[in-house]
Amino acid sequence: MNASPADQRRLLEVADLDIRIRKAEAARKNPPQAARVNELLAQRQTLAQELSTRLGARDDLRAELKRIESDVAVVDARAARDTERLAATSNMKEAQGYESELASLARRKSDLEDAELEIMERLEQADAAVAEQEALIADVNAQGAALSAEGKRVVGEASADFDAATRDRAAIAGALPADLLALYEKVAVRSAGAGLLRRGTCEGCHMVLSGIDLQAVRQAAEDAVVMCPECGCILVRTDESGL
């Protein structure tokens, strides 16, 4: 196949645009932030499960504290009643019974208050544990929001670049000979499609051509379409080719 050197050089522009299009397509379909966002989502789920456990433990302590406070109220009520009855009775035996019960109620209240203090200390620790977990979740949410916003920006830029590169490629490809473009697209399936031959090296595969291969390229007509013997892409020759 033959094509003008100018048309062959335009293939390099098409190849560069194809690279841009592929990169832009990959970026808009799977921005680099996506993997980290997925990690954060999984991390948040784990943190949320732990928060649920901590909230349950705190709720249990609150319920226990409420029960103790209710028991203290009952003891106080009974002690107040017995105190009134003790003050009103003149019966020695009854008085001794009330005094004994008041002493028992005092011990019971002391035990309840000790338990109440212990539960309050544990509840304070549980509140701190919940707050700590909520702070971790808030931090993960903030990171996720920032990354999501950045990902949307990247996708927007990639979409714009994809559209621009696609338009530019269509304009350049539309001006190329149909047979040359068809050959490029055929070999581009398995290689760079077209690569500059620079100082004896194919920039499509970055392999140095052997002396025999370079000699064959030198002998080819200026408008001949030559292929890289290593990767099969179209070798574009310029003054930089070292021929």
Query: What is residue 161's predicted lDDT score, i.e. its pLDDT?
Result: 96
Buried/exposed 155-170: b ≥16 CB within 10 Å, e otherwise: beebeebbeebbebbe
Q: pLDDT band for position 205 (50/70/90)? A: very high
Q: Which two tokens stand for residue 193?
A: 């499609």
Residues 137 and 86: beta-carbon distance below 8 Å: no
pLDDT tens digits for range 153-181: 999 999 999 999 999 999 999 999 999 99
Mean pLDDT on 148-157 = 94
pLDDT tens digits for range 117-130: 999 999 999 999 99
Query: What is residue 194's predicted lDDT score, i.e. its pLDDT?
Result: 96
Q: pLDDT band for position 90 (50/70/90)? A: confident
pLDDT tens digits for range 212-223: 999 999 999 999
For the chain, give the mean pLDDT.
94
* pLDDT at residue 89 is higher than 90: no
| 5-25+175-241 CATH choice from 2.40.160.40, 3.20.20.70, 3.30.420.40, 1.10.287.1490 | 1.10.287.1490
Q: Is 5-25+175-241's fold the same as 26-161's?
A: yes
**What is the enclosing helix (H) or strand (E) of 234?**
strand 234-237
pLDDT tens digits for range 56-75: 999 999 999 999 999 999 99
Query: What is residue 87's predicted lDDT score, i.e. its pLDDT?
Result: 87
Give the integer Cα–Cα distance in Å for 37 and 1.
50
Domain boundary assignment for the chain = 5-25+175-241, 26-161
Mean pLDDT on 43-48 = 96
Domain 26-161 sits in CATH 1.10.287.1490:
yes
The position carrying tokens 């920032």 is 146
Classify residue 40 as exposed, middle or buried by CB count within 10 Å of its CB (0-12, 13-18, 19+). Answer: buried
Query: What is residue 91's predicted lDDT score, i.e. its pLDDT?
Result: 87
